[in-house]
Amino acid sequence: MAQPFETIEVTSHTVACDGGDGPLGHPRVFLEIPEDTHKVVCPYCSRTYMLVDEGEDDQAA
């Protein structure tokens, strides 16, 4: 079954995408995730990268 849009959860504002193996593969590009939307779509393979909060910076001082 084809999944046209894959969503990948990341914890970094900068992600590298190469489309993986198969027909969606493309030269590696770096994508910046905006603070306001918390997600970015790769212009090559249409994968969605979603920023998730890992919580490691959320500890009280």
Q: Is the CB of 11 or the CB of 46 nearer to Zn ion?
A: 46
Residues lying near Zn ion in the complex (CB under 5 A): 17, 19, 42, 44-45
Q: What is the number of the residue whose Cβ is closest to Zn ion?
A: 42
What is the closest distance, in whole angstroms, from the C-beta atom of residue 54 to Zn ion in the complex? 22
Q: Residue 48: beta bridge partners?
A: 7, 41
What is the closest distance, in whole angstroms, from the C-beta atom of residue 32 to Zn ion in the complex? 14
Residue 60 to residue 10: CA distance in whole angstroms? 23
Cα–Cα–Cα angle for 15, 49, 14, nearest 5°?
Answer: 20
